Amino acid sequence: MSRSLDKDLLAHLKADDPNKVYKDISTLLTDLPDNELLEIEFLGKSHPLESGVNYLRDGAAVAVPKLRLAQAFFVARQILQSSREDSSIDNTDALAATAVVLLMDPEHLTAANTRKRLLISALGTGGQNELLLSREKQFVDSLITSRLHRHTKSPTLWSHRRWLHHLLIAHNVSIDLKYEIKNVVIIAGTRHPRNYTAWNHARLLLDLCPEHADDVTIDVKDFCLKNHTDISGWSFLIHVISRLGNGESRRETCSSILAEVLNITDSLRWTNISVWVFLRSVAASELINDQQFASFLTVNKKLVSITPKDSDQWRILDSAREWCENRRLPTVSDVAG
């Protein structure tokens, strides 16, 4: 596919001062509000802004025209390239340039790696380490939780966040698992369905704070019930249950979740594979009693009876029943992977 720009777009790109556009957008991304994430959206040609207006903002909600972002990107890319060749360029300018580049292209490895290098060089020079790390996390979280389809599932951005978390731990900065799951992972998972990149990151967070698994169980379960076709969320819910510490507490939580999911599945006649992989995994474990297993089979049999036998849904239900009857897993953790 050609990367050439049409004449109309070129004319618009030349109409405004790109340096002014870059300064406005880079300032927006570097001068972040206190303890709040930006919620960024892109505006297309159908929402033109008057000359000199480079974005719209209402509190933390920001809308950036794609045309203005393209103008800013050309300037930012030049600054980024110059910073790699000329060590005299201020680190603050280079950091601002990487922010614009990543907003335009979330898979820009050079920009992400430059941010790592600049952050590492800034740490340890004063008493601002926690603030520096928190601001970097705020920037990354603003991108991966905004209504930007590529950013919410970007392997590069989530990898950068994973690297950042290890740095936070190394500098003794505490992690609020409940906040991380509810306000970052779940939002990213909602805005990009089946966001396995985000849910894999959630596993990392839980592995770092396994003692707080109880704190996130309800939030993850609620997400799954609201997004019942999202197999990544259900898989993570199994993983959360497997990490619950106390044996009796794990049984009570597992039984409660199974009962609620079975009830809703029966009521709404859910027959999709995401729900039934979860149900069969829990039902085949030793975390539920025989009565609950019988309830599982009852709901399964009821849905089988009203589902066309030649359909994919019927095969999903039948295989779930057969799998559970032929296999009794010792614990949910065996299928949590």
Closest to 200 (Cα-Cα) out of 164, 228, 162: 162
- pLDDT for 316: 95
- pLDDT for 124: 76
8 Å CB contact between 182 and 176: no
- pLDDT for 286: 80
Residue stretches of the chain with pLDDT short of 70: 1-15, 88, 125-127, 327-337
- pLDDT for 328: 57
- pLDDT for 11: 59
- pLDDT for 332: 43
- Burial (CB < 10 A; 0-12, 13-18, 19+), residue 146, is buried
| Number of neighbours of residue 296 by Cβ within 10 angstroms | 24
- pLDDT for 334: 42
